[in-house]
Structure 1
Amino acid sequence: MDPSLMDTLTYRPMILADLDTVPVGCHGARDAIVKRIGDLGAAAILAFDGEKHVAQLQFRRYQRTLRSPDGLWDPLYWGDFGLHAPSLPYDTLSVFCYHVGQLEDSEARDASYQGRGIGLALLDYFLQWASDGGYSAAIAKCTPSARSIMSFMGGQPSEAYVERGFALTESWVDSQLRDVIQEKKLVPEGVDLDDAARVGCCVKLFD
């Protein structure tokens, strides 16, 4: 992959015309995607290397009472803040998962696209798009900062959000994530697992 990749990647919102041409895993049923695009104007921010889809950042309308039926193993996890969920305006967007290095509709990822700043570029594009679209706020669940955990989860740490004007409003230990970190040995032995499994709620209000 060309080292100047970041200068040549293109980004755009995911619209109805993309449904049969880009990966849609984690978005839910097709009719739900169609409804979401009709409601919000898009369902994700897409990244392309030439004409090849290489990444996307998914988002949905924020719902304070949203709960994941299977915790970490369901895409709704990203919008589930449990008792930490703040009251925010109706026109608030909730950042969901980042799929960096996704070339096809599967769990496979091309590692050559990872660690290059593509996820942050997707986030920057999303924030500008949301601001230009008149949305009031954005909310995101931040991951632990360890690269191994970030990559496994498909998210960003609090630092990425705070640098972009978000406030870290709450943080807590995700017990399910803690078990997964231990089982998959995602951090070196001796690392405090509670610290390693700390996630949080980040909120940005647009001017």
Structure 2
Amino acid sequence: MGDLELSAIRLRPMGLEDLGQAPLDCHGGAAEAADRIRDLGAAAILAFDGDQHVGQLQFRRHRPGLRSAAGLFSPDYWGDFAGRDPPLPAATLCIYCYHVGQLTAGKDRDARYQGRGLGVALLDHLIHWARSEGFAAIVAKSMPPAREILQFMGGQTEATYASRGFTCVDRWIDQPMHQALVERDLVGAQGDPEKDATVGLCVLQLRP
């Protein structure tokens, strides 16, 4: 799949009509997704190759001080900034997980859709949509740049966010993530946690 094919992929916000059609992994169920759609106008940006769902970028309203009760293994991980949240407007979206190459419900991903820029295209569409809908800011947790870590976690790097106008306002070593990476042999047990598990708090202001 080259750039020409990627340009033919349709991107659009996830609405109520998508419940029961698009995969709901990490949304918390149809009722929770519906509540977010009614609150925000959408719960994700969806990607389609023809009629086939091939990816989505989920988001929620930013909740200051949110802590994930299940650590990495809850969608709330993406909104948990370890108590480092800066003051942000009430109308702030928080980026959650990227599901690039997801054709159906479950963890399987089609590698043909990965490494081709689809994740960045989803991010660009979200920024455009959020600005047009009048949101004040977007906040995101950035990931280390190693591809195997990005694929496992489902996120983007600080450099990617910076290229879209985000500012990284804080960084820290995520020790539970490092442990999970070691357990899955994605990094060496004697590796450098600062290199392998530093995450960032990235903010994009949408209003002057």
TM-score range, shorter chain: over 0.9
Structure 1 residues 50 and 152: CA distance shift in structure 2, 3 A: same
Per-residue Cα deviation, 1:145-199 (whole angstroms, up to 9, x for no partner): 1111011000001001011110000000001011112222213676412321100
> Structure 2 stretches of 5 or more lacking a match?
none
- The aligned counterpart of 1:5 is 5
Structure 1 residues 147 and 44: CA distance shift in structure 2, 3 A: same
- The aligned counterpart of 1:34 is 34
Give the superposition deviation at 1:2.
6.2
Give the superposition deviation at 1:6.
1.0
Tell me, yes or no, if structure 1 residue 156 matches structure 2 residue 156. yes
> TM-score w.r.t. structure 1 length?
0.96
Alpha-carbon distance in 1 for matches of 2:17, 2:124: 23
Tell me, yes or no, if structure 1 residue 204 matches structure 2 residue 201. no
Larger mean Cα displacement after TM superposition, 61-70 or 121-130: 61-70
Amino acid in structure 2 at the alignment position of 1:138: I
Q: Is the 8 A contact 2:182 2:189 kept in 1?
A: no
Equivalent positions of 1:63-142 (< 5 A) are: 63-142=63-142
Q: Is the 8 A contact 2:173 2:198 kept in 1?
A: yes
Alpha-carbon distance in 1 for matches of 2:61, 2:137: 10
Larger mean Cα displacement after TM superposition, 77-86 or 137-146: 77-86
Give the superposition deviation at 1:67.
1.4
Alpha-carbon distance in 1 for matches of 2:16, 2:3: 32
- The aligned counterpart of 2:180 is 180
Aligned length: 207
Give the superposition deviation at 1:4.
2.5
> TM-score w.r.t. structure 2 length?
0.96
Amino acid in structure 1 at the alignment position of 2:85: A
- The aligned counterpart of 1:52 is 52
> Structure 1 stretches of 5 or more lacking a match?
none
| Partner secondary structure for residue 141 of structure 1 | strand
| Partner secondary structure for residue 55 of structure 1 | strand
Alpha-carbon distance in 2 for matches of 1:40, 1:64: 17
CA RMSD after TM alignment: 1.3
Alpha-carbon distance in 1 for matches of 2:18, 2:73: 25
Alpha-carbon distance in 2 for matches of 1:9, 1:78: 26
